[in-house]
Amino acid sequence: MLEYVPDFRADRIATLYFFHPLRRLLRRVSTGIPILMYHSISENTELHKNPYFRTCTHPLAFREHIELLARQGYNTIGLGEATRRLEEGTRTPKKLVVLTFDDGYGDFYTEAFPILSRYEYTATVFLPTAYIGDNPRKFKETSCLTWSRVRELQKAGIEFGSHTVTHPQLTTLPTAEIRRELQSSKDEIEERLGVHAPSFSYPYAFPEADRCFRQRLRDMLLRAGYRNSVSTIVGMADSASDLLCLERIPMNSSDDDAFFTAKLQGGYDWLHAFQLASKLATPRRAVS
């Protein structure tokens, strides 16, 4: 076991001692699919950040997460398969989970993939293509995957999707530039890998409260040929979810077994109401 004391987190306390027990008391059983959101799998402690906003997961903590999934009988599926099941309303007695990794960091290859392989688990990785080269490039001072490693991972069953070209704040860009970020990244992935790339991951916090931007983005995603897109909206993805704005569950090193289990069972979904309220209170910036 990883020897650390979980950080004090109000959201953890609220989940474990109120919302998750209340959900079980009311016998609310989730029929959705948890889509877990990871970024870097590294020893970066991110001590300067509030635990909720940390995006790094220590390799030992990640191993514990995967071991917990295996102990509890979860099967991993790619985002494409999850989308098909959600769209068709396919039900199964199997416990399914989707593992997603944003930013295309190189430590997915060195740290995460060996652990996933041990359990024959798969994942979907989202690439900001400007930082994926024939030689290692850095994004946020962290080395990213190379195309040769991406192709190696693809042959091993890992799915890849777009995370734009340069990972910008899309709400600050003019429409033409947003379209370029969506289309060019998708085109390069398809050219490099020789497969269709129907999945997209929105960079930074998703502007859920901006209905006008959401509709414009949705139209642009469809025009570019995407079939699904994940966001930072907290929650379980189910048959009522918008396939071009799928909910995810954020993960990092401070997710101990109890907190992780509650998240998998829908016990963390309550946070979405507070997340949306915060966004509604934040002024929006108009783009052309």
Q: What is the model's pLDDT at position 30?
A: 73
Q: What is the model's pLDDT at position 288?
A: 35
Which domains are assigned to the chain? 10-280 (3.20.20.370)
Ranges of residues in the chain with a pLDDT under 70 are 1-7, 283-288
Residue where the block lists tokens 């060195």 = 110
Q: Which two tokens stand for residue 188?
A: 């390069």
Q: What is the model's pLDDT at position 287?
A: 42
Q: What is the model's pLDDT at position 51?
A: 87
Here the contacts of 282-287 (C-beta below 8 Å, separation 24 or greater) are 282/209, 284/171, 284/207, 284/209, 284/210, 284/213, 285/171, 285/172, 287/171, 287/172, 287/173, 287/174, 287/175, 287/213
E strand spans, the chain: 35-38, 40-41, 56-57, 74-76, 95-101, 124-127, 138-139, 142-143, 159-162, 199-201, 228-234, 246-250
Q: Which two tokens stand for residue 142?
A: 């962290």
pTM above 0.75, yes or no: yes
Torsion of CA 202, 204, 209, 213, to 10 degrees: -50
Q: What is the model's pLDDT at position 227?
A: 97
